[in-house]
A = this chain, B = another copy of it.
């Protein structure tokens, strides 16, 4: 039951390579990190030695000496949501081109957890940090400032600071949804949204709905606060019970919730969109496959990931904090919305 010593047991080290190549440690080091700064003969000898010994550098030693790990950290709500999985996917691809690895940690929507995870990433000496959302604990904010860790905030651009926030406008997107429903003649709607505590994306989406509803004189009958999952959407549907309550449109905070609500409605035999319209947010791949296919907001997740990755790369190259950016969203009208019944 004793703790393993890890695996560094007896790997060849750089000094072994240097010996085998007949050069000094310094020369060997340089041959690997700056191949152009050594004589071709030296380079060749070192490379051959590396090859024959099967040398693999020690990241820990390298990190300690160079003060850089080549890892960037990202703290996100959960990986178990296609929208974040896609983000991570694209981010990894972008960072990998620069030899950077992504260390992704999920806090499962728990604030204390987020604080701890960020400390862990700091402890692991990631070179930069990516956070989802603009709303974070003061301890986190001050920690990052204190140690000068490069970081960006992702996802929402609603009322974001001038620097370091990349995302899209949640409120404006939701307004498009409500405008669409207004066009279809809906007068009584309800929302299935996420917890707004510590989640400004959910907050702005809700605000967008309220604002646009007021403009169009649409009655927002109820707002259910449920998990941002398929199961959450089902719960929200049952809680609101739209048909019985003469609600003609259900606005969901995410596609996952919409998928759950849609499924619950179909299970109860409700005809969509004749009896009830349902909208989502994100436009995950699955949205188009549901039946009826989901009317939703396309959130520019892949672009966001690429933009974020490049911003991080830029910061690591000393370019400073990127100026904030708001990417466009788009209303995608499919078959889950239709004219309001009488």
Known: A2-B318, A4-B127. A88 touches B79 (CB 8 A): yes
A230 located at the interface, meaning its Cβ lies under 8 Å from any Cβ of chain B in the complex: yes
Segment at the interface with B among A145-153, A219-227, A236-244: A145-153
Segment at the interface with B among A101-109, A169-177, A186-194: A101-109
Known: A286-B286, A317-B3, A318-B3. A67 touches B230 (CB 8 A): no
Known: A79-B89, A92-B106, A286-B286. A146 touches B7 (CB 8 A): no
Stoichiometry (number of copies): 2
Known: A119-B56, A123-B59, A289-B263. A148 touches B85 (CB 8 A): no
Report the nearest B residue to A293, measured CB to CB: B263
- Give the Cβ gap from A103 to chain B, nearest Cβ, in Å: 6
Give A54-81 as 1s and 0s: 1 = Cβ < 8 Å from B's Cβ atoms: 1011111101101111010000001110
Q: Are B103 and A7 in contact (CB under 8 A)?
A: no
Q: Are A68 and B125 in contact (CB under 8 A)?
A: no
Query: In the bound complex, what is the Cα–Cα distance between A262 and B104 (angstroms)?
Result: 33
A315 located at the interface, meaning its Cβ lies under 8 Å from any Cβ of chain B in the complex: yes
Report the nearest B residue to A5, measured CB to CB: B67
Q: Are B289 and A259 in contact (CB under 8 A)?
A: yes
Q: Are B4 and A315 in contact (CB under 8 A)?
A: yes
Q: Are B120 and A101 in contact (CB under 8 A)?
A: yes
- Give the Cβ gap from A88 to chain B, nearest Cβ, in Å: 5
Report the nearest B residue to A128, measured CB to CB: B7
A326 located at the interface, meaning its Cβ lies under 8 Å from any Cβ of chain B in the complex: no
Known: A8-B125, A66-B6. A86 touches B92 (CB 8 A): no
Q: Are A230 and B289 in contact (CB under 8 A)?
A: yes
Report the nearest B residue to A84, measured CB to CB: B85
Q: Are A6 and B68 in contact (CB under 8 A)?
A: yes
A41 located at the interface, meaning its Cβ lies under 8 Å from any Cβ of chain B in the complex: no
- Give the Cβ gap from A149 to chain B, nearest Cβ, in Å: 4
Contact of A123 (CB < 8 Å), options: B58, B150, B315 = B58
Known: A54-B143, A80-B85. A316 touches B4 (CB 8 A): yes
- Give the Cβ gap from A34 to chain B, nearest Cβ, in Å: 12
A185 located at the interface, meaning its Cβ lies under 8 Å from any Cβ of chain B in the complex: no
Q: Which residues of B contact A104 (CB under 8 A)?
A: 104
Query: In the bound complex, what is the Cα–Cα distance between A286 and B285 (angstroms)?
Result: 11
A39 located at the interface, meaning its Cβ lies under 8 Å from any Cβ of chain B in the complex: no
A323 located at the interface, meaning its Cβ lies under 8 Å from any Cβ of chain B in the complex: no
A82 located at the interface, meaning its Cβ lies under 8 Å from any Cβ of chain B in the complex: yes
Q: Which residues of B contact A148 (CB under 8 A)?
A: 7, 9
Query: In the bound complex, what is the Cα–Cα distance between A1 and B119 (angstroms)?
Result: 28
Supply 24 A–B pairs (Cβ within 8 Å), ascending by A.
A1-B317, A2-B317, A3-B68, A3-B316, A4-B150, A4-B315, A5-B67, A6-B68, A6-B69, A7-B67, A8-B125, A9-B148, A58-B125, A71-B124, A78-B89, A79-B85, A79-B89, A80-B82, A85-B85, A92-B105, A101-B103, A101-B105, A286-B286, A289-B290
Q: A60-B63, A63-B63 are in contact. List 20 more A-B contacts (CB 8 A).
A: A1-B317, A1-B318, A1-B319, A4-B68, A6-B67, A6-B68, A8-B125, A9-B67, A9-B148, A56-B119, A59-B63, A59-B125, A79-B92, A80-B89, A101-B103, A101-B124, A230-B285, A230-B289, A290-B290, A290-B291
